[in-house]
């Protein structure tokens, strides 16, 4: 039976019946290529290796067996279960196991592309090389704490780390009372030739800040996750970070937030801008 294709319902029913058939089905799951590949893709993107993938996959099967036998299984499909449970088990592993957590942090710390990305965002925003190196190291320390406290939810680890460093440097600039971060600062004109242009530019940034505040924390977060992370997250990963049920819910939420942002921008269009074209 284990060599034949088994539907989700067949697997659930067999596990419920117990006995040798249950053991055979669990072995079938253990060698299921598609479920293994699903787990591997998530774990690798989240900073793990083949050994981590094996550990997490086994934990997923154990949890599936427990949930079905205790009538706690509620996923729409086994694929959904392995996708969601992989993230849960991976985050628990990082939270509870210091050697594995430090192994992931070590890989991030040795990643030359990631270092270049952090260096670029810091040095483009009033920082120097020393600032960039400090931000990178402080980011690793903060990420260690976030993993330990369970604040990471199993998405792309590089994107999560980049966002951590981005926020650290943004907070540092606030302390120094200097210019805003890249999404705002890079749009500032290098040569301030026209006072009216400067005035409108500053007013636009101020207005954008006010509008983003009116959007609320949830919309700010999902727009930030979708558009302001260098290692862009998928809708599945955004759903996890937002605490939403699935990628479709995340996509619907994003659409509503974009529509709300556009409506607010139209509502607050500067009354004097028409004079620029007259």
Q: Domain locations in the chain? A: 8-96, 98-179, 187-278
| pLDDT value, residue 137 | 96
pLDDT of residue 260: 85
DSSP letter for 50, please.
H
Is 80 exceeded by the pLDDT of residue 106? yes
What is the C-alpha to C-alpha distance for residues 154 and 17, in angstroms, rounded to an integer? 33
pLDDT at residue 185 is higher than 60 = no
pLDDT at 182 over 80: no
Most confident of the ranges 5-9, 136-140, 152-156: 136-140
Q: Tell which residue, 157, 78, 171, has the closest CA to residue 114.
A: 157
User: Looking at 42-46, 65-69, 164-168, 265-269, which range is the least confident one?
Assistant: 265-269
Higher confidence at residue 5 or residue 67?
67
Contact between 72 and 37 (Cβ < 8 Å): no
The string over 233-267, giving b where at least 16 C-beta atoms fall within 10 Å of a residue's C-beta and e elsewhere, is bebbbbbbbbebebbeebbebbeebeebbeebeee
- Record the tokens describing residue 30, joined without a space: 């253990």
Task: Confirm or reject CATH 1.10.10.10 for domain 187-278, answering yes or no.
Answer: yes
The token pair at 44 is 């690798």
**What's the mean pLDDT in 174-202?**
46
What pLDDT, on the 0 to 100 scale, is given for residue 243?
A: 87
The predicted pLDDT at position 235 comes to 86
Average pLDDT estimate for 83-111? 95
Q: What's phi and psi for 98, nearest 5 deg?
A: -65, -45
């Amino acid at each position: 039976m284990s060599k034949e294709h088994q539907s989700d319902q067949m697997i659930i029913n067999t596990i419920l019946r117990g006995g040798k058939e249950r053991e055979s089905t669990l072995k079938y799951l253990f060698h299921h290529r598609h479920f293994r590949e699903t787990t591997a893709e998530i774990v690798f993107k989240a900073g793990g290796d083949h050994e981590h993938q094996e550990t997490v996959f086994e934990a997923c099967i154990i949890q599936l067996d427990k949930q079905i036998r205790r009538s706690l299984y509620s996923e729409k499909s086994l694929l959904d279960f392995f996708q969601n449970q992989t993230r849960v088990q991976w985050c628990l592993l990082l939270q509870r196991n210091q050697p594995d957590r430090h192994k992931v942090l070590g890989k991030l710390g040795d990643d030359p592309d990631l270092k270049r990305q952090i260096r670029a965002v810091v040095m483009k925003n009033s920082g120097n090389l020393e600032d960039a190196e400090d931000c990178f190291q402080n980011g690793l320390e903060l990420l260690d704490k976030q993993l330990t406290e369970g604040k990471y939810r199993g998405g792309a680890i590089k994107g999560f780390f980049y966002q951590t460093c981005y926020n650290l440097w943004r907070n540092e600039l606030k302390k120094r009372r200097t210019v805003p971060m890249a999404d705002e600062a890079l749009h500032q004109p290098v040569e301030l030739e026209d006072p009216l242009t400067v005035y409108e530019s500053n007013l636009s940034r101020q207005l954008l800040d006010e509008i983003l505040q009116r959007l609320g924390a949830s919309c700010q977060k999902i727009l930030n996750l979708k558009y302001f992370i260098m290692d862009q997250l998928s809708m599945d990963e955004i759903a996890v970070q937002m605490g939403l049920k699935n990628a479709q819910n995340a996509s619907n939420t994003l659409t509503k937030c974009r529509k709300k942002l556009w409506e607010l921008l139209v509502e607050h269009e500067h009354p004097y801008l028409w004079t620029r074209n007259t």
